[in-house]
Amino acid sequence: CAGGLSLLFPRHCLSHTLSWAFCLPVAVQPCRKPPEIPNGNHSGRGKAFFTMGMSVIYTCDPGYYLVGNNIVFCKASGNWSQPSPRCEAAVCVNPHIRNGRRVDGQGLLSAPGQAVTFQCHDGYSLQGNDKVICQEDGSWHPPLPICDRLYHDQGLSNKPEIPGKSCHRERYKVSLPFFLLFIHSQ
């Protein structure tokens, strides 16, 4: 190469007419191939060299999530802009629901695809799906259910419990004359 330039690949020369395309200023260094990461890939596979400004995108295999920056750039120094990210096994923290319990799904963690089933305590009714499944991003789908008190019909709630009696869902019907009488008397 001409003065002040160095060959990008000293061992791989092309024809004399094309060799100028592989000369860079001495201060600009090519980056080595980006590191491979366990349980993941990057978009630079199959590329022979990386020059300043080129980038690669890291992704993780199914069942893993990325920790760190997913995009790295080749800098003029010949180093990548960020440390390589890593892929961690995806897990879901087994959820708890207020006024309910898990009836299956053991331990503190679940892997993607595993299900947890819920049941409400006596006096409460399950609103939503009783079974949720751990997703690859660590979330649960469908959304977690809620255990609601059994007394929620027609706007009346928090009916006092009678000791020794079991709770049953009760429906209250308010007739229109009573409702009007109630409004008029206030």
Residues 96 and 180 in one domain: yes
Q: Smallest Cα–Cα separation from 13: which of 24, 23, 26, 25?
A: 23
Residues 180 and 96 in one domain: yes
Reading the block at residue 124, the tokens are 């409460």
Beta bridge partners of 59: 41
Domain boundary among 32, 59, 89: 89
CATH of the domain at 174: 2.10.70.10
Task: Report how many domains make up the chain.
Answer: 2
The pLDDT score that the predictor gives to residue 26 is 54
> In which region does residue 76 sit, left (phi positive, over 0), alpha (psi from -120 to 50) or beta (all else)?
alpha
Residues 113 and 166 in one domain: yes
pLDDT per residue rounded down to tens, the chain (186 residues): 544 444 554 443 333 444 444 554 556 788 999 999 999 999 998 898 899 999 999 999 988 889 999 999 999 889 999 888 999 988 899 999 999 999 987 789 998 889 999 999 999 999 999 999 999 888 999 999 999 998 645 444 454 444 444 444 433 333 333 333 333 334
Q: Give dist(CA 90, CA 113) in Å, integer.
A: 11
Q: What is the largest CA-CA distance in the chain?
A: 103
> In which region does residue 155 sit, left (phi positive, over 0), alpha (psi from -120 to 50) or beta (all else)?
left
For residue 56, what are the domain limits? 5-89
Beta bridge partners of 56: 72
Residues 65 and 102 in one domain: no
Residues 78 and 101 in one domain: no
Residues 169 and 108 in one domain: yes
Domain boundary among 57, 89, 121: 89
Residues 70 and 110 in one domain: no
Exposure string (b/e) for 6-38, b if CB count within 10 Å is 16 or more? eebeeeeeeeeeeeeebebeeebbbbeebeebe
Please classify residue 60 by burial: count the beta carbons closer than 10 Å to its beta carbon, then call 0-12 exposed, 13-18 middle and 19+ buried.
buried
The pLDDT score that the predictor gives to residue 13 is 37
The pLDDT score that the predictor gives to residue 23 is 52
Residues 15 and 56 in one domain: yes
Residues 105 and 179 in one domain: yes
Q: Give dist(CA 155, CA 173) in Å, integer.
A: 10
Domain boundary among 89, 121, 144: 89
Residues 115 and 85 in one domain: no
